[in-house]
Amino acid sequence: MRLLTTLILFVSLITSCSQPTTPEKPPATPVDGHAIREHIQRLASDEMEGRAPGGKGEELATSYIADFYRSIGLRTQFQAVPMIGITSTVAPMKLTGKAGSQTLKFGEQFMAWSRLEKNNIPIDADLVFCGYGVVAPEYQWNDFKSDVKGKIIVVLINDPQLEDQSKFGGRAMTYYGRWTYKFEEAARQGAAGALIVHETQFAGYPWEVVRGSWSGEQFDIVRTDKGASTVPLQGWITRDVAAALFKSAGMDFDALKKKALDPEFRPIPLGIKAAVDLKNAMHRVDSKNVIGVLEGSERPDEYVIFTAHWDHLGVSEPQNGDKIYNGAVDNASGVALMMEIARAGTKAQVKPKRSIVFMAVTGEEQGLLGSDYYAENPVFPLNKTVANINIDEANVFGRNNGRIQVIGFGYTQLEDILKDVVAKQGRTMTADAEPQKGFYFRSDQFSFAKRGVPALYTKSVTVEDEHEFTEKRYHKPSDEFDPAWDMKAAVADGDALLEVALRVANGGEWPEWKPGTEFRAIREKSLKK
Ligand SMILES: [Zn+2]
Protein backbone atom coordinates (compact mmCIF):
# COMPACT_ATOMS: atom_id res chain seq x y z
CA MET A 1 0.00 0.00 0.00
CA ARG A 2 1.07 3.45 -0.13
CA LEU A 3 3.24 5.50 1.83
CA LEU A 4 3.64 8.76 2.67
CA THR A 5 5.18 12.03 2.28
CA THR A 6 7.16 13.44 5.10
CA LEU A 7 7.65 16.94 6.27
CA ILE A 8 11.17 18.13 6.30
CA LEU A 9 11.78 18.78 9.95
CA PHE A 10 15.33 19.90 9.90
CA VAL A 11 18.40 19.21 7.87
CA SER A 12 20.43 16.14 8.56
CA LEU A 13 22.41 16.19 11.74
CA ILE A 14 24.90 13.67 10.75
CA THR A 15 26.80 15.06 7.84
CA SER A 16 29.74 16.30 9.84
CA CYS A 17 29.77 14.44 13.08
CA SER A 18 29.84 10.77 12.74
CA GLN A 19 31.67 7.74 11.82
CA PRO A 20 29.03 5.16 12.70
CA THR A 21 30.08 3.23 15.77
CA THR A 22 30.57 -0.41 15.06
CA PRO A 23 28.83 -2.82 17.41
CA GLU A 24 31.33 -4.96 19.33
CA LYS A 25 30.50 -8.01 17.32
CA PRO A 26 28.86 -7.70 13.92
CA PRO A 27 25.71 -9.83 14.07
CA ALA A 28 25.73 -11.13 10.54
CA THR A 29 27.25 -10.74 7.13
CA PRO A 30 25.90 -7.39 6.08
CA VAL A 31 23.01 -7.22 3.67
CA ASP A 32 24.28 -7.02 0.07
CA GLY A 33 22.95 -4.33 -2.28
CA HIS A 34 23.81 -6.23 -5.48
CA ALA A 35 21.72 -9.18 -4.40
CA ILE A 36 18.76 -6.92 -3.56
CA ARG A 37 19.03 -5.34 -7.00
CA GLU A 38 19.05 -8.74 -8.73
CA HIS A 39 16.02 -9.98 -6.82
CA ILE A 40 14.06 -6.82 -7.68
CA GLN A 41 15.00 -7.10 -11.32
CA ARG A 42 13.74 -10.66 -11.48
CA LEU A 43 10.56 -10.17 -9.47
CA ALA A 44 9.63 -7.01 -11.39
CA SER A 45 10.44 -8.44 -14.83
CA ASP A 46 7.72 -8.43 -17.49
CA GLU A 47 7.84 -12.22 -17.41
CA MET A 48 6.28 -12.11 -13.94
CA GLU A 49 3.32 -10.17 -15.36
CA GLY A 50 2.91 -7.83 -12.41
CA ARG A 51 2.50 -10.72 -9.93
CA ALA A 52 -1.29 -10.83 -9.66
CA PRO A 53 -2.57 -13.54 -7.28
CA GLY A 54 -3.57 -16.73 -9.05
CA GLY A 55 -1.77 -16.35 -12.37
CA LYS A 56 1.45 -17.29 -14.10
CA GLY A 57 3.17 -14.35 -12.37
CA GLU A 58 2.32 -15.85 -8.99
CA GLU A 59 3.71 -19.22 -10.01
CA LEU A 60 7.01 -17.71 -11.15
CA ALA A 61 7.41 -15.28 -8.26
CA THR A 62 6.57 -17.71 -5.46
CA SER A 63 8.83 -20.40 -6.97
CA TYR A 64 11.64 -17.89 -7.25
CA ILE A 65 11.32 -16.94 -3.58
CA ALA A 66 10.93 -20.55 -2.38
CA ASP A 67 13.91 -21.76 -4.46
CA PHE A 68 16.00 -19.00 -2.97
CA TYR A 69 14.92 -19.89 0.57
CA ARG A 70 15.89 -23.53 -0.05
CA SER A 71 19.23 -22.49 -1.52
CA ILE A 72 20.17 -20.66 1.69
CA GLY A 73 19.01 -23.54 3.88
CA LEU A 74 15.69 -22.25 5.22
CA ARG A 75 12.97 -24.77 5.99
CA THR A 76 10.55 -23.79 3.25
CA GLN A 77 6.84 -24.26 2.80
CA PHE A 78 3.82 -22.74 1.13
CA GLN A 79 0.60 -21.78 2.85
CA ALA A 80 -2.40 -22.08 0.54
CA VAL A 81 -4.53 -18.91 0.66
CA PRO A 82 -7.98 -19.46 -0.82
CA MET A 83 -9.50 -16.18 -1.97
CA ILE A 84 -12.82 -15.26 -3.36
CA GLY A 85 -13.65 -12.48 -5.80
CA ILE A 86 -17.10 -11.02 -5.16
CA THR A 87 -19.06 -8.69 -7.42
CA SER A 88 -22.12 -7.31 -5.64
CA THR A 89 -25.02 -6.01 -7.72
CA VAL A 90 -27.02 -3.63 -5.58
CA ALA A 91 -30.61 -2.51 -6.03
CA PRO A 92 -31.73 0.99 -4.96
CA MET A 93 -32.19 1.35 -1.19
CA LYS A 94 -35.72 1.98 0.05
CA LEU A 95 -36.17 4.02 3.22
CA THR A 96 -39.49 4.04 5.03
CA GLY A 97 -40.34 6.17 8.05
CA LYS A 98 -43.02 8.38 9.57
CA ALA A 99 -42.36 11.03 6.93
CA GLY A 100 -43.08 8.59 4.11
CA SER A 101 -40.66 6.66 1.94
CA GLN A 102 -37.84 7.51 -0.43
CA THR A 103 -35.33 5.67 -2.59
CA LEU A 104 -31.54 6.12 -2.60
CA LYS A 105 -29.52 5.73 -5.81
CA PHE A 106 -26.64 3.28 -5.73
CA GLY A 107 -23.32 4.94 -6.54
CA GLU A 108 -24.57 8.49 -6.22
CA GLN A 109 -26.12 8.41 -2.76
CA PHE A 110 -24.92 5.19 -1.23
CA MET A 111 -22.44 2.39 -1.81
CA ALA A 112 -23.00 -1.12 -0.54
CA TRP A 113 -21.62 -4.60 -0.87
CA SER A 114 -21.59 -7.85 1.02
CA ARG A 115 -18.73 -10.20 1.75
CA LEU A 116 -21.16 -13.03 2.46
CA GLU A 117 -20.61 -16.00 0.16
CA LYS A 118 -24.26 -16.08 -0.85
CA ASN A 119 -25.97 -15.29 -4.13
CA ASN A 120 -28.88 -13.36 -2.64
CA ILE A 121 -28.65 -11.12 0.38
CA PRO A 122 -31.92 -9.35 1.15
CA ILE A 123 -31.55 -6.74 3.90
CA ASP A 124 -34.48 -5.09 5.66
CA ALA A 125 -33.90 -3.56 9.08
CA ASP A 126 -34.23 -0.50 11.33
CA LEU A 127 -31.61 2.24 11.21
CA VAL A 128 -29.89 3.17 14.48
CA PHE A 129 -27.38 5.98 14.82
CA CYS A 130 -24.40 4.68 16.84
CA GLY A 131 -22.06 7.68 16.95
CA TYR A 132 -18.54 6.61 16.01
CA GLY A 133 -19.36 2.92 16.40
CA VAL A 134 -16.44 2.40 18.76
CA VAL A 135 -15.81 0.08 21.71
CA ALA A 136 -12.47 1.07 23.28
CA PRO A 137 -11.99 -0.27 26.80
CA GLU A 138 -8.66 1.53 27.25
CA TYR A 139 -10.49 4.85 26.80
CA GLN A 140 -13.58 3.72 28.77
CA TRP A 141 -15.55 4.24 25.60
CA ASN A 142 -18.56 2.25 24.37
CA ASP A 143 -20.93 3.52 21.69
CA PHE A 144 -23.08 0.39 21.97
CA LYS A 145 -24.79 0.88 25.32
CA SER A 146 -27.92 -0.73 23.92
CA ASP A 147 -28.44 -3.79 21.74
CA VAL A 148 -28.22 -3.30 17.96
CA LYS A 149 -28.52 -6.94 16.99
CA GLY A 150 -30.25 -7.28 13.61
CA LYS A 151 -30.27 -3.49 13.01
CA ILE A 152 -28.45 -1.39 10.46
CA ILE A 153 -26.12 0.93 12.29
CA VAL A 154 -25.28 4.39 10.95
CA VAL A 155 -21.83 5.52 12.11
CA LEU A 156 -19.44 8.43 11.65
CA ILE A 157 -16.07 8.16 9.93
CA ASN A 158 -12.81 8.66 11.91
CA ASP A 159 -12.36 8.34 15.66
CA PRO A 160 -13.99 10.70 18.16
CA GLN A 161 -11.89 13.86 17.97
CA LEU A 162 -12.37 15.18 21.48
CA GLU A 163 -11.68 18.86 21.93
CA ASP A 164 -9.03 18.28 24.59
CA GLN A 165 -7.49 15.42 22.53
CA SER A 166 -7.36 13.39 25.73
CA LYS A 167 -8.40 10.17 24.05
CA PHE A 168 -7.89 8.35 20.77
CA GLY A 169 -4.34 9.45 20.11
CA GLY A 170 -5.00 13.18 19.64
CA ARG A 171 -3.91 14.06 16.12
CA ALA A 172 -2.88 10.50 15.27
CA MET A 173 -5.60 8.25 13.91
CA THR A 174 -6.17 5.14 15.96
CA TYR A 175 -7.54 1.96 14.48
CA TYR A 176 -10.98 2.99 15.73
CA GLY A 177 -10.99 5.64 13.01
CA ARG A 178 -10.55 3.25 10.09
CA TRP A 179 -13.55 2.13 8.08
CA THR A 180 -12.39 -1.48 8.34
CA TYR A 181 -12.77 -1.25 12.11
CA LYS A 182 -16.34 0.08 11.84
CA PHE A 183 -17.44 -2.98 9.87
CA GLU A 184 -15.61 -5.38 12.18
CA GLU A 185 -17.24 -3.87 15.26
CA ALA A 186 -20.67 -3.96 13.57
CA ALA A 187 -20.15 -7.71 13.04
CA ARG A 188 -19.18 -8.18 16.70
CA GLN A 189 -22.37 -6.36 17.70
CA GLY A 190 -24.44 -8.70 15.54
CA ALA A 191 -25.74 -5.88 13.34
CA ALA A 192 -27.40 -6.66 10.00
CA GLY A 193 -25.58 -3.82 8.36
CA ALA A 194 -23.37 -0.78 8.82
CA LEU A 195 -23.54 2.45 6.86
CA ILE A 196 -20.66 4.87 7.34
CA VAL A 197 -21.44 8.54 6.81
CA HIS A 198 -18.86 9.83 4.35
CA GLU A 199 -17.50 13.31 5.01
CA THR A 200 -14.63 14.36 2.76
CA GLN A 201 -13.00 16.50 5.40
CA PHE A 202 -12.77 13.68 7.92
CA ALA A 203 -12.27 10.72 5.60
CA GLY A 204 -9.40 12.46 3.82
CA TYR A 205 -10.73 11.51 0.38
CA PRO A 206 -13.77 12.48 -1.71
CA TRP A 207 -16.91 10.41 -2.30
CA GLU A 208 -15.55 9.43 -5.75
CA VAL A 209 -12.85 7.40 -4.02
CA VAL A 210 -15.43 5.45 -2.03
CA ARG A 211 -17.45 4.98 -5.17
CA GLY A 212 -14.46 3.90 -7.26
CA SER A 213 -12.94 1.60 -4.67
CA TRP A 214 -16.10 -0.35 -4.07
CA SER A 215 -17.32 -0.75 -7.62
CA GLY A 216 -16.56 -3.96 -9.46
CA GLU A 217 -14.99 -7.10 -8.08
CA GLN A 218 -13.74 -7.13 -4.50
CA PHE A 219 -11.57 -9.85 -3.05
CA ASP A 220 -11.69 -11.50 0.31
CA ILE A 221 -10.19 -14.60 1.86
CA VAL A 222 -12.38 -17.65 2.15
CA ARG A 223 -13.39 -17.57 5.79
CA THR A 224 -13.84 -20.68 7.86
CA ASP A 225 -16.49 -19.03 10.04
CA LYS A 226 -18.92 -18.84 7.08
CA GLY A 227 -19.27 -15.11 7.47
CA ALA A 228 -19.82 -14.81 11.24
CA SER A 229 -17.02 -12.24 11.34
CA THR A 230 -18.50 -10.09 8.62
CA VAL A 231 -21.50 -7.80 8.85
CA PRO A 232 -23.91 -8.78 6.03
CA LEU A 233 -24.34 -5.25 4.61
CA GLN A 234 -21.30 -3.00 4.42
CA GLY A 235 -21.87 0.42 2.99
CA TRP A 236 -21.47 4.16 2.93
CA ILE A 237 -23.89 7.06 2.58
CA THR A 238 -23.01 10.62 1.60
CA ARG A 239 -23.15 13.38 4.18
CA ASP A 240 -26.09 14.96 2.32
CA VAL A 241 -28.07 11.74 2.51
CA ALA A 242 -27.30 11.44 6.22
CA ALA A 243 -28.37 15.03 6.92
CA ALA A 244 -31.67 14.54 5.02
CA LEU A 245 -32.25 11.22 6.73
CA PHE A 246 -31.78 12.66 10.20
CA LYS A 247 -33.99 15.62 9.29
CA SER A 248 -36.82 13.34 8.16
CA ALA A 249 -36.51 11.63 11.54
CA GLY A 250 -36.88 15.03 13.23
CA MET A 251 -33.21 15.24 14.21
CA ASP A 252 -30.23 17.41 13.31
CA PHE A 253 -27.09 15.75 11.97
CA ASP A 254 -24.62 18.28 13.37
CA ALA A 255 -26.26 18.22 16.79
CA LEU A 256 -26.10 14.43 16.88
CA LYS A 257 -22.48 14.51 15.78
CA LYS A 258 -21.71 16.67 18.77
CA LYS A 259 -23.64 14.34 21.02
CA ALA A 260 -21.51 11.44 19.76
CA LEU A 261 -18.45 13.02 21.40
CA ASP A 262 -20.04 12.57 24.82
CA PRO A 263 -18.84 9.40 26.56
CA GLU A 264 -22.42 8.95 27.79
CA PHE A 265 -23.72 8.71 24.21
CA ARG A 266 -26.25 5.93 23.60
CA PRO A 267 -27.51 4.53 20.26
CA ILE A 268 -30.42 6.54 18.82
CA PRO A 269 -33.08 4.70 16.75
CA LEU A 270 -34.01 6.81 13.71
CA GLY A 271 -37.51 5.35 13.30
CA ILE A 272 -36.64 4.51 9.68
CA LYS A 273 -36.46 1.12 7.98
CA ALA A 274 -33.96 0.49 5.20
CA ALA A 275 -34.41 -2.26 2.60
CA VAL A 276 -31.90 -3.21 -0.06
CA ASP A 277 -31.25 -6.37 -2.11
CA LEU A 278 -27.74 -7.50 -3.00
CA LYS A 279 -26.83 -10.21 -5.47
CA ASN A 280 -23.31 -11.63 -5.34
CA ALA A 281 -21.42 -13.22 -8.23
CA MET A 282 -18.39 -15.11 -6.95
CA HIS A 283 -15.26 -16.74 -8.25
CA ARG A 284 -12.48 -18.53 -6.50
CA VAL A 285 -8.75 -17.71 -6.73
CA ASP A 286 -6.16 -19.98 -5.16
CA SER A 287 -3.05 -18.17 -4.03
CA LYS A 288 -0.27 -18.73 -1.51
CA ASN A 289 2.12 -17.32 1.06
CA VAL A 290 5.77 -18.43 0.93
CA ILE A 291 7.33 -19.25 4.29
CA GLY A 292 11.02 -19.78 5.06
CA VAL A 293 12.17 -20.63 8.58
CA LEU A 294 15.57 -20.05 10.11
CA GLU A 295 15.26 -22.45 13.02
CA GLY A 296 16.11 -21.14 16.51
CA SER A 297 18.81 -22.90 18.51
CA GLU A 298 17.19 -22.73 21.96
CA ARG A 299 13.56 -21.76 21.56
CA PRO A 300 12.68 -22.94 18.07
CA ASP A 301 8.96 -22.79 18.88
CA GLU A 302 9.05 -19.04 19.47
CA TYR A 303 9.08 -16.82 16.39
CA VAL A 304 10.02 -13.46 14.99
CA ILE A 305 8.18 -13.08 11.68
CA PHE A 306 9.26 -10.88 8.79
CA THR A 307 6.60 -10.13 6.18
CA ALA A 308 6.71 -8.52 2.72
CA HIS A 309 3.96 -8.83 0.15
CA TRP A 310 5.01 -10.42 -3.14
CA ASP A 311 1.82 -9.55 -5.03
CA HIS A 312 1.08 -6.51 -7.13
CA LEU A 313 -1.66 -5.47 -9.55
CA GLY A 314 -0.89 -7.78 -12.50
CA VAL A 315 -1.82 -6.92 -16.08
CA SER A 316 -4.44 -4.19 -16.36
CA GLU A 317 -5.48 -0.94 -18.08
CA PRO A 318 -2.59 0.14 -20.38
CA GLN A 319 -0.84 3.46 -19.74
CA ASN A 320 1.55 4.80 -22.39
CA GLY A 321 1.32 1.49 -24.19
CA ASP A 322 2.36 -0.56 -21.15
CA LYS A 323 -0.12 -2.82 -19.41
CA ILE A 324 2.17 -4.69 -17.01
CA TYR A 325 2.06 -3.26 -13.53
CA ASN A 326 5.51 -4.49 -12.52
CA GLY A 327 5.43 -3.25 -8.94
CA ALA A 328 9.20 -2.92 -8.70
CA VAL A 329 9.16 -0.63 -5.68
CA ASP A 330 5.75 -1.90 -4.54
CA ASN A 331 6.75 -4.50 -3.45
CA ALA A 332 9.41 -6.45 -5.35
CA SER A 333 11.83 -4.22 -3.46
CA GLY A 334 10.48 -5.20 -0.05
CA VAL A 335 10.55 -8.91 -0.87
CA ALA A 336 14.07 -8.57 -2.28
CA LEU A 337 15.22 -6.86 0.89
CA MET A 338 13.58 -9.51 3.06
CA MET A 339 15.25 -12.28 1.03
CA GLU A 340 18.62 -10.64 1.50
CA ILE A 341 17.99 -10.15 5.23
CA ALA A 342 17.21 -13.88 5.36
CA ARG A 343 20.48 -14.74 3.64
CA ALA A 344 22.46 -12.47 5.94
CA GLY A 345 20.56 -13.97 8.89
CA THR A 346 21.70 -17.49 8.01
CA LYS A 347 25.29 -16.23 8.25
CA ALA A 348 24.87 -14.74 11.73
CA GLN A 349 27.88 -15.68 13.86
CA VAL A 350 25.66 -16.95 16.62
CA LYS A 351 22.55 -18.81 15.56
CA PRO A 352 19.42 -17.01 16.79
CA LYS A 353 17.85 -18.59 19.87
CA ARG A 354 14.32 -18.13 18.62
CA SER A 355 13.24 -18.97 15.09
CA ILE A 356 13.11 -16.22 12.48
CA VAL A 357 10.46 -16.60 9.80
CA PHE A 358 10.58 -14.88 6.41
CA MET A 359 7.12 -14.79 4.92
CA ALA A 360 6.28 -13.43 1.47
CA VAL A 361 2.52 -12.85 1.58
CA THR A 362 -0.09 -12.59 -1.16
CA GLY A 363 -3.07 -10.29 -1.73
CA GLU A 364 -1.86 -7.19 0.08
CA GLU A 365 -3.10 -4.95 -2.71
CA GLN A 366 -6.59 -6.46 -2.34
CA GLY A 367 -6.79 -5.63 1.36
CA LEU A 368 -3.98 -7.36 3.30
CA LEU A 369 -5.51 -10.72 2.40
CA GLY A 370 -2.48 -13.03 2.59
CA SER A 371 -1.34 -11.74 5.96
CA ASP A 372 -4.91 -11.68 7.22
CA TYR A 373 -5.43 -15.27 6.18
CA TYR A 374 -2.15 -16.23 7.85
CA ALA A 375 -3.16 -14.49 11.07
CA GLU A 376 -6.58 -16.22 11.00
CA ASN A 377 -4.91 -19.56 10.30
CA PRO A 378 -1.44 -19.17 11.80
CA VAL A 379 1.17 -21.78 10.92
CA PHE A 380 3.04 -20.75 14.08
CA PRO A 381 0.81 -19.84 17.06
CA LEU A 382 0.33 -16.10 17.50
CA ASN A 383 0.93 -16.40 21.24
CA LYS A 384 4.35 -17.86 20.39
CA THR A 385 5.04 -15.09 17.90
CA VAL A 386 7.23 -12.56 19.62
CA ALA A 387 7.13 -9.85 16.95
CA ASN A 388 6.39 -8.99 13.34
CA ILE A 389 8.57 -6.79 11.14
CA ASN A 390 7.00 -5.75 7.84
CA ILE A 391 8.70 -4.34 4.76
CA ASP A 392 6.51 -2.62 2.19
CA GLU A 393 8.65 -0.70 -0.32
CA ALA A 394 12.38 -0.65 0.29
CA ASN A 395 14.29 2.59 -0.15
CA VAL A 396 15.88 2.08 -3.56
CA PHE A 397 16.65 5.76 -4.05
CA GLY A 398 19.89 5.85 -2.10
CA ARG A 399 19.15 8.88 0.05
CA ASN A 400 17.75 8.68 3.55
CA ASN A 401 19.06 11.86 5.18
CA GLY A 402 20.31 9.77 8.07
CA ARG A 403 16.80 9.11 9.31
CA ILE A 404 14.47 6.20 9.60
CA GLN A 405 10.82 6.76 10.30
CA VAL A 406 8.63 4.53 12.44
CA ILE A 407 5.14 4.29 10.98
CA GLY A 408 2.74 3.89 13.90
CA PHE A 409 5.17 5.62 16.21
CA GLY A 410 4.55 5.11 19.92
CA TYR A 411 2.94 1.70 19.65
CA THR A 412 5.53 -0.89 20.64
CA GLN A 413 8.82 -1.41 22.42
CA LEU A 414 10.28 -2.63 19.12
CA GLU A 415 10.96 1.01 18.28
CA ASP A 416 13.11 1.34 21.39
CA ILE A 417 15.29 -1.47 20.06
CA LEU A 418 15.35 0.09 16.60
CA LYS A 419 16.32 3.45 18.04
CA ASP A 420 19.38 1.96 19.63
CA VAL A 421 20.28 -0.06 16.54
CA VAL A 422 20.09 2.87 14.11
CA ALA A 423 21.98 5.12 16.52
CA LYS A 424 24.87 2.67 16.19
CA GLN A 425 24.65 3.22 12.42
CA GLY A 426 24.89 6.96 12.97
CA ARG A 427 21.24 7.40 12.03
CA THR A 428 18.27 8.87 13.85
CA MET A 429 14.87 7.30 14.37
CA THR A 430 11.94 9.67 13.85
CA ALA A 431 8.18 9.56 14.43
CA ASP A 432 5.53 8.89 11.81
CA ALA A 433 5.29 12.21 9.93
CA GLU A 434 1.60 11.80 9.04
CA PRO A 435 0.02 9.87 11.90
CA GLN A 436 -3.42 11.25 11.01
CA LYS A 437 -3.41 9.12 7.86
CA GLY A 438 -3.28 5.84 9.72
CA PHE A 439 -0.66 4.16 7.52
CA TYR A 440 0.12 1.72 10.30
CA PHE A 441 -3.24 0.08 9.55
CA ARG A 442 -2.66 -0.16 5.81
CA SER A 443 0.01 -2.79 5.25
CA ASP A 444 0.61 -6.34 6.42
CA GLN A 445 1.99 -5.53 9.88
CA PHE A 446 -1.57 -4.62 10.73
CA SER A 447 -2.85 -8.19 10.32
CA PHE A 448 -0.51 -9.09 13.18
CA ALA A 449 -1.06 -5.95 15.25
CA LYS A 450 -4.82 -6.29 15.37
CA ARG A 451 -4.43 -9.78 16.79
CA GLY A 452 -2.03 -8.50 19.41
CA VAL A 453 1.39 -9.34 17.95
CA PRO A 454 3.72 -6.32 18.37
CA ALA A 455 4.61 -5.18 14.87
CA LEU A 456 7.18 -2.80 13.42
CA TYR A 457 6.95 -0.90 10.14
CA THR A 458 9.58 1.59 9.04
CA LYS A 459 10.42 3.91 6.14
CA SER A 460 13.59 5.79 5.28
CA VAL A 461 12.62 7.32 1.92
CA THR A 462 13.07 11.09 1.74
CA VAL A 463 10.16 13.42 1.07
CA GLU A 464 11.46 14.33 -2.41
CA ASP A 465 11.86 10.71 -3.49
CA GLU A 466 8.52 9.74 -2.05
CA HIS A 467 6.73 12.61 -3.80
CA GLU A 468 8.29 11.81 -7.11
CA PHE A 469 7.52 8.10 -6.80
CA THR A 470 3.92 8.69 -5.72
CA GLU A 471 3.26 11.10 -8.53
CA LYS A 472 4.94 9.28 -11.38
CA ARG A 473 4.97 5.61 -10.58
CA TYR A 474 2.81 4.52 -7.63
CA HIS A 475 0.33 1.85 -8.79
CA LYS A 476 1.19 2.53 -12.44
CA PRO A 477 2.90 0.38 -15.10
CA SER A 478 5.88 2.75 -14.73
CA ASP A 479 6.74 1.28 -11.31
CA GLU A 480 9.58 -0.58 -13.04
CA PHE A 481 13.12 -1.56 -12.19
CA ASP A 482 15.59 1.25 -12.79
CA PRO A 483 19.28 0.39 -13.23
CA ALA A 484 20.18 3.81 -11.80
CA TRP A 485 18.83 2.88 -8.38
CA ASP A 486 21.17 2.97 -5.42
CA MET A 487 20.74 0.35 -2.69
CA LYS A 488 22.75 2.19 -0.01
CA ALA A 489 19.73 3.11 2.09
CA ALA A 490 18.06 -0.27 1.58
CA VAL A 491 21.23 -1.98 2.82
CA ALA A 492 21.33 0.23 5.93
CA ASP A 493 17.64 -0.47 6.60
CA GLY A 494 18.16 -4.19 6.05
CA ASP A 495 21.12 -4.32 8.42
CA ALA A 496 19.08 -2.47 11.03
CA LEU A 497 15.99 -4.65 10.73
CA LEU A 498 18.05 -7.84 10.87
CA GLU A 499 19.79 -6.57 13.98
CA VAL A 500 16.39 -5.75 15.57
CA ALA A 501 15.16 -9.26 14.71
CA LEU A 502 18.28 -10.87 16.17
CA ARG A 503 18.03 -8.87 19.38
CA VAL A 504 14.39 -9.89 19.76
CA ALA A 505 15.20 -13.49 18.87
CA ASN A 506 17.98 -13.62 21.45
CA GLY A 507 16.53 -11.33 24.11
CA GLY A 508 15.03 -12.20 27.48
CA GLU A 509 11.83 -10.18 27.65
CA TRP A 510 9.30 -10.20 24.84
CA PRO A 511 8.66 -6.74 23.38
CA GLU A 512 5.31 -5.31 24.43
CA TRP A 513 2.72 -2.82 23.30
CA LYS A 514 3.16 0.49 25.06
CA PRO A 515 0.61 1.27 27.78
CA GLY A 516 -2.63 2.82 26.52
CA THR A 517 -2.37 1.44 22.97
CA GLU A 518 -5.40 -0.30 21.52
CA PHE A 519 -3.73 -3.67 20.90
CA ARG A 520 -2.21 -4.21 24.34
CA ALA A 521 -5.28 -5.82 25.90
CA ILE A 522 -5.65 -8.15 22.91
CA ARG A 523 -2.06 -9.33 23.38
CA GLU A 524 -2.49 -9.85 27.12
CA LYS A 525 -5.57 -11.95 26.49
CA SER A 526 -3.86 -13.98 23.77
CA LEU A 527 -0.83 -14.72 25.95
CA LYS A 528 -3.03 -16.09 28.74
CA LYS A 529 -4.33 -18.84 26.46
ZN1 LIG B 1 2.83 -2.37 -1.02
Distance from residue 1's CA to the centre of ligand 1 (Å): 4
Distance from residue 20's CA to the centre of ligand 1 (Å): 31
What pLDDT, on the 0 to 100 scale, is given for residue 23? 44
Query: Rounded to whole angstroms, what are the CA distances from 47 to 41, 43, 52, 57, 118?
Result: 11, 9, 12, 7, 36
What pLDDT, on the 0 to 100 scale, is given for residue 28? 59
Distance from residue 365's CA to the centre of ligand 1 (Å): 7
What pLDDT, on the 0 to 100 scale, is given for residue 393? 96
Q: In sequence order, what are the beta bridge partners of 286?
A: 82
Q: Classify burial at 271, counting beta carbons within 10 Å of its beta carbon; exposed 0-12, middle 13-18, buried 19 or more.
A: middle
**Nearest by Cα to 408 from 133, 163, 178, 162:** 178
CA angle 455, 458, 461 (to 5 degrees): 165
Distance from residue 178's CA to the centre of ligand 1 (Å): 18
CB-based neighbours (< 5 A) of ligand 1, an ion: 1, 330-331, 392
What pLDDT, on the 0 to 100 scale, is given for residue 228? 67
d(CA 203, CA 158): 7
Distance from residue 268's CA to the centre of ligand 1 (Å): 40
Distance from residue 476's CA to the centre of ligand 1 (Å): 13
Q: Report the chain's C-alpha Rg in angstroms.
A: 24
Distance from residue 69's CA to the centre of ligand 1 (Å): 21
**Would you give the distance in Å from CA 77 to the centre of its chain?**
24
Distance from residue 239's CA to the centre of ligand 1 (Å): 31
What pLDDT, on the 0 to 100 scale, is given for residue 1? 41
Contact 418, 429 (CB under 8 A): yes
Distance from residue 308's CA to the centre of ligand 1 (Å): 8
**Nearest by Cα to 267 from 345, 189, 359, 381:** 189
**Nearest by Cα to 348 from 73, 117, 133:** 73
Distance from residue 343's CA to the centre of ligand 1 (Å): 22
User: Hey, is 212 helix, strand or coil?
Assistant: helix
Distance from residue 393's CA to the centre of ligand 1 (Å): 6
Q: What pTM does this model have?
A: 0.85
**Nearest by Cα to 376 from 221, 227, 524, 510:** 221
DSSP for 11-61, written as a single string: --SHHHH-PPPPPSS--SSPP-HHHHHHHHHHHTSGGGTT--TTSHHHHHH
Distance from residue 280's CA to the centre of ligand 1 (Å): 28
What pLDDT, on the 0 to 100 scale, is given for residue 214? 76
Contact 292, 128 (CB under 8 A): no
Instruction: Provide the pairing of β-strand 299-309 with 354-361.
Output: parallel
What pLDDT, on the 0 to 100 scale, is given for residue 27? 53
**Nearest by Cα to 174 from 425, 436, 407:** 436
**Nearest by Cα to 450 from 162, 178, 102:** 178
Distance from residue 385's CA to the centre of ligand 1 (Å): 23
Distance from residue 53's CA to the centre of ligand 1 (Å): 14
What pLDDT, on the 0 to 100 scale, is given for residue 437? 80
Q: What is the pLDDT along the chain (529 residues), one digit of tens a residue?
A: 433 333 333 333 333 333 333 444 455 578 999 999 999 999 999 999 999 999 899 999 999 999 999 999 999 999 999 999 899 999 999 999 988 899 999 999 999 999 998 999 999 999 999 999 999 988 899 999 999 999 999 999 988 887 777 778 777 788 999 999 999 999 999 999 999 999 987 777 788 878 877 777 888 898 776 566 789 999 999 999 999 999 999 999 999 999 999 999 999 999 999 999 999 999 999 999 999 999 999 999 999 999 999 999 998 888 899 999 999 999 999 999 999 999 999 999 889 999 999 999 999 998 999 999 999 999 999 999 999 999 999 999 999 889 999 999 999 999 999 999 999 999 999 998 888 888 899 999 999 999 999 999 999 999 889 888 988 898 889 999 999 999 999 999 999 999 999 999 999 999 999 998 989 999 999 999 7
What pLDDT, on the 0 to 100 scale, is given for residue 15? 33
Distance from residue 152's CA to the centre of ligand 1 (Å): 33
Contact 148, 267 (CB under 8 A): yes
Contact 179, 196 (CB under 8 A): yes
Q: Return phi, psi of residue 89, to 5°.
A: -100, 125
CA angle 91, 96, 101 (to 5 degrees): 85
